[in-house]
Structure 1
Amino acid sequence: MDMNERRTWNDNHKKLKQILVRPEAHNEVIQLFLSHHLLLHASSISQTNYTTLEDKLLKGLHERLFRQYPVPNPDTNNSIAWHLWHIARIEDMTMNVLVSDRNQVLFSEDWLTKMNVPLTHSGNDMQEEEIADLSRNIDINSLLAYRAAVGRRTREIITSLKPGQFIMKINADRIRRLFEENAVMEKSKWLADYWSKKNIAGLILMPATRHNFLHLNKSIRIKERLQKKLD
């Protein structure tokens, strides 16, 4: 994704925001979301010919840079590994629990064991030693496979929504599930409070799309800065 494609992505995000709550535009919303979302995951999940943001991030990325923590960026100390794990967890819990009241992808196919991660929460408010441990020990291939599985599930969920459902508020029982399943830690209660004020459209605009976009771009900046130090 080059700069022109990123500008187009931002323009499409504005358009998605404008039409999401219009039931008569439902089919257009679904198609726009699918094309919008595919640029945030590996091209393999949608068989696209585009170079996605994840493709751009991973191309030529050495494992050492993937795991490095802390990183010397002004807007984050966290590793690329942490950023990818964090956005996968956020997308998984918001789309599956809050939007569709389904089981999280994390709890299928033994992903925790495969990724070698003992944590089920979002990664917000983690201690430095926890971030360092995750960055050092997470299985990279399994992390990427988990994120792809989350992306595919999201596309399935959004495609299954009916006209008028985008304006539905988030059910309080689903917010409680986040704590019961240790998806959100008690000290990160602010995150659940933030989501509880959203409708489905709001969750699509931020965790499912914008949140991924911001963290992937941040990860690309980390990669570029670290590579410059190696040159």
Structure 2
Amino acid sequence: MDIKLRKTWNENHKILSEIILKRAEHTRAIQLFLSQHSLLHSSSISETPLVTLEDEMLKNLDETTFRQYPVPNPDTKNSIAWHLWHITRIEDMTMNILLSNEQQVLFAENWLEKMNIGFTHSGNDMSEKEIALMSSKIDINSLKAYRTAVGKRTRQVVSSLQPGQFKGKVEQNRIKRLFEENAVSQNSKWLADYWSKKNIAGLILMPATRHIFLHLNKCIRIKDRLHKLQAKPK
């Protein structure tokens, strides 16, 4: 995903924001979302011929760089592993609890065991010790597979929305589910409060798209900086 395509993505996200609540534009909004979303996951999900932002992030990404924590970046010290896991958990819980009120993908195929981690929450307000542990232990291939499964489910969920549903508010019983399933920790109650004020369109425009875009860009900056440091003569 080169600079030109990133610019186009941002322009299209603005268009999506403008049309998503217009009932007459429902079909167009769904199609634009699917196009935007496809560029934030592996190209294998939608079989797009374009190099996606995730494709770019994973290219030449070695395991040491993937797991390194903390990282020497000015805007984050969290590992690429944490960022990738965080955006996937956020997408899973918002699309499958808050939007569709269905089972999280996390629990559908025993992903916790496959990923070799015990954390089910979003990762917000994680301690340094927890981030270091997760970064060192998580199974990389299983994390990628979990991310693919979440992305595919999101596309199914959003494609099934009917005209007018983007205006629907997030139901409070679904906010309650976030805590019951330890998707959001008590220390991150602010996050649940934030989502509780959103409508379905708000979930589409941030957790399912913009949030992923921002974190994948951070991952690319982390990778590039660490590779430059590794290349410096000692």
Render the CA deviation track for 1:55-110: whole Å, top value 9, x for unaligned: 00111111000000000000000000000000000000000000000000000110
- In 1: Cα distance, 2:227 partner to 2:105 partner: 33
Residue 168 of structure 2: aligned partner: 168
Render the CA deviation track for 1:150-198: whole Å, top value 9, x for unaligned: 0000000000000000000000000000000000001100000000000
Residue 157 of structure 2: aligned partner: 157
Residue 113 of structure 2: aligned partner: 113
- In 1: Cα distance, 2:53 partner to 2:6 partner: 9
- Counting only pairs closer than 5 Å after superposition, residues 180-191 of structure 1 correspond to structure 2 as 180-191=180-191
Where 1:142 maps in the other structure, the secondary structure is: helix
How far does residue 4 in structure 1 lie from its aligned partner after superposition?
A: 0.6
How far does residue 230 in structure 1 lie from its aligned partner after superposition?
A: 1.1
- In 1: Cα distance, 2:180 partner to 2:69 partner: 30
- In 2: Cα distance, 1:219 partner to 1:129 partner: 20
Residue 36 of structure 2: aligned partner: 36
Does 2:23 correspond to 1:23?
yes
Q: CA RMSD in A?
A: 0.4
Render the CA deviation track for 1:3-32: whole Å, top value 9, x for unaligned: 010000000000000000001101000110
Letter in 2 for 1:95: M
How far does residue 126 in structure 1 lie from its aligned partner after superposition?
A: 0.2
Does 2:220 correspond to 1:220?
yes
Letter in 2 for 1:150: V
TM-score (norm 1): 1.00
Where 1:204 maps in the other structure, the secondary structure is: helix
> Which consecutive unaligned segments of at least 5 residues does structure 1 have?
none
Does 2:148 correspond to 1:148?
yes
Where 1:214 maps in the other structure, the secondary structure is: helix
Residue 55 of structure 2: aligned partner: 55
Letter in 2 for 1:101: N
Where 1:119 maps in the other structure, the secondary structure is: coil
> Which consecutive unaligned segments of at least 5 residues does structure 2 have?
none
Letter in 2 for 1:2: D
Residue 83 of structure 2: aligned partner: 83
- Counting only pairs closer than 5 Å after superposition, residues 63-142 of structure 1 correspond to structure 2 as 63-142=63-142
Aligned residues: 231
- In 1: Cα distance, 2:47 partner to 2:100 partner: 25
- In 1: Cα distance, 2:51 partner to 2:109 partner: 28
TM-score (norm 2): 0.98
- In 2: Cα distance, 1:23 partner to 1:158 partner: 15
How far does residue 54 in structure 1 lie from its aligned partner after superposition?
A: 0.6
Which portions of structure 1, spanning 4 or more consecutive aligned residues, are displaced by more than 2 angstroms? none
Give the % identical residues. Answer: 68
Letter in 1 for 2:141: N
How far does residue 140 in structure 1 lie from its aligned partner after superposition?
A: 0.1
Where 1:120 maps in the other structure, the secondary structure is: coil
